[in-house]
Amino acid sequence: SEAATEEIRAAFGITETIGKAEPERAPALPSAAWMARCRQMNDVLLRLLALRETILPRQLWRKMLGEIKVHGAPIDPGSLHAVSTRFAHDLAMLAAAHPGLDPARLAPAPKATPWREADPTLGFRATQYLMAFRWRIAQASKEAEAEKAPEIAAIAEASSAPAPAPARPKLSPWAERYLPDLARQNVAKLQRSPFRPHNRLGRVKEEAEPAPYTPAPRQSPEGSTGNVIVGCMKNEAPYIVEWVAYHRAVGFDNFLIYSNGCEDGTSQILDRLQAMGVLQHRDNDNWTGKSPQQHALDRSLKEPVLQEADWIAHIDVDEFVNIRCGNGTLADLFERVPDASNIAMTWRLFGHNGVTRLEDRPVIDQFDTCAPKFCPKPHTVWGFKTLFRNIGAYGKISCHRPNKLAEGFEDKVKWVNGSGADMTREALRNGWRNSKKTIGYDLVQLNHYALRSAESFLIKRQRGRALHVDRSIGLNYWIRMDWGGARDLTIKRNLPRLRAEITRLLADPELGRLHEAGLAWHKAKAEELHNTPEFEELYQQALALRLTETERVAYALALDLES
């Protein structure tokens, strides 16, 4: 806007004409020395304001920065080559979308010596200038306080009046009939809080029909086992081939899979895939400790396929690494975050999408309704799994992340979120979920199909859980996981190459036979559970449940989180 342009000109002392008359003229660049002075001055001013004892009007602030101006050479754009590289892909897309833009003018300057803050010259010390400006700041603060006094008094008077009774929240028909009192109270609170869920986050367009990714030829890694997934399975026969095919198509090279207590042919499918050279299967029936999953992860650290890996991820068969940049492969992701050692892949929880019956169709094609991107509560929605570089920084793999940071690696580890933003400070030693500060999905997310179809949910409910074997999966679990207020089609760009890889794997007759047998077992189990009153009642309750996003959050917060 014109007002913003004028403010920028005033802040930097720009006198050149900027506007329609001379669109080709760029503003004069500020000197590197002045920029260094401004940064140091802003630092001390912000610390002064943090004491909450002073008001500093923007006009005076801007004037003071103008008074410390010195001339000299501007910052060399080539010294900011790392920043230019970070945005090069976005700028190329911008130029492609807008033919009027000249790609040459958006290209980064030639790489130069990396930027370091310039000498502010003449022995500049920001604290000395602050002392010189202090009397002017104090005077301006008094004037600002006097100007705001009537407004503050009016607010104080209003706050002393009795608060009106909160309006009863408007609920959906199902919620109006069944929502417990505590959940109703939570709805009212959420509607007025910064935790209210919405989908206004990030830059990726999720609901548009996506163009398919181009084929990504597989290249065997040299000198390592490449990108490796370690996972645990129990009774997952209908889903294994798709899951393995998908992750091979996006750039994973090897799989180390543990199984326990399988009755549906899962172990036989994994054995066959091992015989085909696709993965490595380990029996985990004799697990000890609190969970079969953690027992398996502890064992995996002794396996050469993990010890010799470049990158490692621990994910489950209902989780799909959805790479949302470039051509949708791990290589594209790594190119966007070249300095990262750990990438937090935030869950995106997908509901049953109205699919009731178990079908032999790709999971990523059947289910596309999900939780909104902004959903800080309940705590499970922003959980993440970690893709991490195998540099020996951690001594343990847990469900969501590597743990036990090794001594001497504190400055060698860089965590980034799903948008590539640094979150090392928040995640270096612990943590398994994102916050409002660290959430991001633009480059990668982990599509979590915890329910799949309603019948699949019944079977999952019947077999229990891999990590928390002492916790049941009932209606409470459905309430937390059956999200459907948003729609995300981005992963469907992988469907052509997924189907090609599935076809290639199922060309093996024995694998095809085992897959069909596993599918038949699950369909028979679903029919058996339909004929069991307890499970049929759960099935009908789940399908009858209709909640808005806010109501689902409110209900989940009202539930016993350990149920």
Q: Are residues 429 and 292 in the same domain?
A: yes
pLDDT of residue 210: 85
Residue 555, helix vs strand vs coil:
helix
Q: Are residues 379 and 513 in the same domain?
A: yes
Using alpha carbons, select from 239, 248, 244 the residue that is nearest to residue 257.
Answer: 244
- Look at residues 119, 142, 165 and tell me which one is the last residue of a structural domain: 142
Q: Are residues 124 and 236 in the same domain?
A: no
Ramachandran area for residue 510 (φ above 0: left; ψ -120 to 50: alpha; else beta)? alpha
Find residue 230's DSSP bridge partners. Answer: 256, 314
In a domain, 293, yes or no: yes
pLDDT tens across 265-321, in order? 999 999 999 999 999 999 999 999 989 999 999 999 999 999 999 999 999 999 999
pLDDT tens across 49-70, in order? 888 778 888 889 899 999 999 9
Q: Are residues 130 and 231 in the same domain?
A: no
Q: Is the pLDDT of residue 523 over 60?
A: yes
Q: Are residues 231 and 138 in the same domain?
A: no
| Torsional sign, CA 35, 40, 41, 47 | positive
In a domain, 71, yes or no: yes
In a domain, 332, yes or no: yes
pLDDT confidence band for 86 (50 / 70 / 90) = confident
Q: Are residues 104 and 244 in the same domain?
A: no
Q: Are residues 452 and 344 in the same domain?
A: yes
* C-alpha–C-alpha distance, residues 416 and 435, integer Å: 13
- In the block, tokens 């002075």 appear at 37
Residue 347, helix vs strand vs coil:
strand
Q: Is the pLDDT of residue 247 over 60?
A: yes
In a domain, 159, yes or no: no
In a domain, 410, yes or no: yes
Q: Is the pLDDT of residue 4 over 80?
A: no
**368 neighbors 488 (Cβ within 8 angstroms):** yes
pLDDT tens across 143-181, in order? 777 766 665 566 556 556 565 555 678 899 989 988 989
Using alpha carbons, select from 474, 464, 502, 470 the residue that is nearest to residue 263.
Answer: 464
Using alpha carbons, select from 522, 523, 535 the residue that is nearest to residue 458.
Answer: 535
Using alpha carbons, select from 89, 66, 85 the residue that is nearest to residue 77.
Answer: 85
What mean pLDDT comes out for the span 431-455? Answer: 97
Residue 180, amino acid: P
Rg (alpha carbons) of the chain, rounded to whole number: 29
Q: Is the pLDDT of residue 257 over 80?
A: yes
Q: Are residues 245 and 367 in the same domain?
A: yes
Query: Which residue did the predictor score with more confidence, 1 or 524?
Result: 524
Q: Are residues 96 and 242 in the same domain?
A: no
In a domain, 251, yes or no: yes
Q: Is the pLDDT of residue 6 over 60?
A: no
Q: Is the pLDDT of residue 528 over 80?
A: yes
- Look at residues 117, 142, 167 and tell me which one is the last residue of a structural domain: 142
Mean pLDDT over each residue of the chain, to the nearest integer: 89
Give the pTM: 0.72
Token digits of residue 199:
């989908």
- Look at residues 142, 166, 183 and tell me which one is the last residue of a structural domain: 142
Q: Is the pLDDT of residue 244 over 90?
A: yes
Parent domain of 135? 2-142
In a domain, 163, yes or no: no
Q: Are residues 253 and 388 in the same domain?
A: yes
Q: Are residues 16 and 124 in the same domain?
A: yes
In a domain, 171, yes or no: no
User: What's the domain count of the chain?
Assistant: 2
* C-alpha–C-alpha distance, residues 192 and 169, integer Å: 11
Angle of helix 533-544 relative to helix 509-530, nearest 10 degrees, comes to 90
Q: Are residues 307 and 404 in the same domain?
A: yes
